[in-house]
Structure 1
Amino acid sequence: MFVCSCFGVTDQQIKEHAAAGACTPRQIASVSKAGTDCGSCVRTIQGLLGRGACPRRTLIESGGTALAETALVDAPLSEAA
């Protein structure tokens, strides 16, 4: 199915880019131009990325609390408060 008709980008191509590490609509746009013309496909791209197309997203979500705790430990005291 075509996700971006302006540049002829399919849902399969979006999933392939996501598997290669492009996990945000902006990153998808930089590798495929999808979403950079009329913008009507951006919500569809967001939906595809939110449905497990991005392996890194699953990893981040599974370790989200640990990552947040690490960020607080590494932050200066003025930022952590």
Structure 2
Amino acid sequence: MYVCSCFGITEKQVRAHAETGACTPRQIAGACKAGTDCGSCVRRIQAILGRGACPRRELLDQGEPAAALAADVVLPADTGLAAEAA
């Protein structure tokens, strides 16, 4: 099912980005642009992300710099998301 109609982003794609470390709607937007046009999908993205554990958020809470954490996120090539993020 589509989450972001503006960019054709599916719930499966949002979940895949979340599994690779995107913990917030802003991080999802940075990975695939979902939520950056009309914004009507942001609440759905928030619902998909939920309030579960987020390894990146936990590292930020421990004082790790955000830029260093962003470099650690690598999208698996087999999901087709690596080309979208590039």
Provide the secondary structure at the position in 1 that maps to 2:35: coil
Q: Equivalent residue of 1:26, what SS? A: helix
Q: Aligned-residue CA RMSD in angstroms? A: 2.3
Which residue is equivalent to 2:19?
19
User: How many residues matched?
Assistant: 61
- Residue identity over aligned pairs, in percent, reads 62
| Poorly superposed stretches of 4+, deviation over 6 Å | none
Relative to total residues, which structure has the larger helix share, 1 or 2?
A: 1
Q: Which has the larger radius of gyration?
A: 1
Long gaps (5+) in structure 2: 64-86
In 2, Cα distance between equivalents of 1:50 and 1:56: 14
Any gaps of 5 or more consecutive residues in structure 1? 61-66, 72-81
Partner of 1:56 in structure 2? 55
